[in-house]
Amino acid sequence: MSRPNILILMADQLSGVLFPDGPAPFLNAPHLRALAERSARFANCYTASPLCAPARASFMSGQLPRRTRVYDNAAEFASDIPTYAHHLRRAGYATCLSGKMHFVGPDQMHGFEERLTTDIYPADFGWTPDYRKPGERIDWWYHNMGSVTGAGVAEITNQYEYDDEVAYNACRKLYDLSRGADDRPWCLTVSFTHPHDPFVARRRYWDLYEGAAEREPPEAIPYDAHDPHAQRILDACDWRSFDITADQVRRARQGYFANISYIDDKVGQIMDVLRDTRQDAIVVVLSDHGEMLGDRGLWFKMNFYDPSARVPLMIAAPGMAAGRVDTPVSTIDLLPTLADLAGISLAEVSPWTDGETLVPVAAGGPRSPVPMEYAAEASVTPLVAIRDGRWKYTRCLADPEQLFDMDADPGERTNLAPDPAHAATLARLRALADARWDLPAYDAEVRESQARRWVVYEALRNGAYFPWDYQPLMQASERYMRNHMNLDTLEESKRFPRGE
């Protein structure tokens, strides 16, 4: 069969609650809106884990964090775990990554034949949490509320420098692919770090949301009324050291919305190059996890509430009708979906693949209850969750169970777990969780991993240090014009289209 080209466009920390059916109407995002109109739009897509590295390893492998062992932002992603890049490359694809994927460990490729940029985050074990020290803040890398108090306008930042480079390299790669020197089908993954905090935006995007009603602070919950995990998140973010004002919340939200518009601009640039070079491709838009953005008084992610755990997922592909799909699905479903669309069998690894193809789901078919896991900072033992139809169930050995009716209570304000009227639903979901997770064993595995990584990290930082961070190499003598090349042949081969 003819293999379709695949373009994956990934944002970081982009909440699915702002994409109920494509971008929310108030968002200035014309390019994402145009993509939405021709895509299957999964309104209830959940991350496998609401943190960067675990979410990304899961999205790439179709496996939950307990299976990948990428529990947190400093856990190694093992080289023997097949990713969608491995499966596609094995089937004859050219696979390429421009941007962030937060691979931890010495393997910085994971099936990609080519990487165009380094990563924005470190590849070593330095960000390892420690369950042996519950409540400890690791100041040099834990989130704090400075991202909120420091929200504002800047024309260049660490993150803008990175994402400008990501987009430039992605467009350059698409131009290169159009020249036809490589006749293989291709999969290009373009992964940005925005709109991840800090909430700092360029003036032209910031001004788009001046005075917008959506800037107003959401309803906060007093600390004592939060569930225990939410309290741990607030503590981990050092909330007592900050006096957050309503205006600071408005500015942080404005910066976040502004950076969605920045990402939209970059998506537009990439889609223009795809169109101008007359290349067809399946286009996927998604994020790794969401952003609380002040909802409940919480920020960032690290929990299973919808602003943190729900992400956009839009797939424009032949064989998948455009339209809204309300069935809950997961980011781990992308790997089997891409394999399905490309005609690739996963039979060899299907017993160890947690995701399910979304091709039949887009046509109205079912999807099994959606699982989620979290075992990183602000937790003291793993948390797990299930989204099953209208119900969301959360389980943790350290905390009371939670049960929410997402149809009647989309803000997740009323925990129905203690309500006898919902005992049957609670028992059914508890049984599903028991069948999937052995939580004491999961806890022991995380503790073992953390303890081992602390030893290795401290050892490797003693004496000469060789980083694992990806170092992009450019063969400058193979670019432009050099004396081992024929000038006429070069100019012709680098032109698209030719002869016009």
Cβ partners under 8 Å of residue 221, min gap 6: 230, 296, 297
Report residue 331 as tokens: 């980011």
Strand order, beta sheet including 329-330: 310-311, 45-46, 329-330
Report residue 349 as tokens: 């690894």
Report residue 10 as tokens: 């990934």
**Angle subtended by helix axes 334-342 and 52-61, to nearest 10:** 30
Strands 94-99 and 114-115, sheet pairing: parallel
Torsion of CA 287, 289, 290, 292, to 10 degrees: -160
**Which residue from 413, 412, 421, 417 is spatially nearest to 400, judged by alpha carbons?**
417
Are 291 and 58 a contacting pair, CB within 8 Å? no
Report residue 203 as tokens: 């003036």
Are 85 and 95 a contacting pair, CB within 8 Å? yes
Q: How far apart are CA 264 and CA 281, in angstroms?
A: 18
How many Cα neighbours within 13 Å face the side chain of 85? 25
Q: How far apart are CA 302 and CA 290, in angstroms?
A: 9
Residues assigned a catalytic role: 52, 102
Q: Tell the burial category of 299 from Cβ atoms under 10 Å away from its Cβ (0-12, 13-18, 19+).
A: buried
CB atoms within 10 A of CB 325: 25
Q: How far apart are the first and last CA of the chain?
A: 31
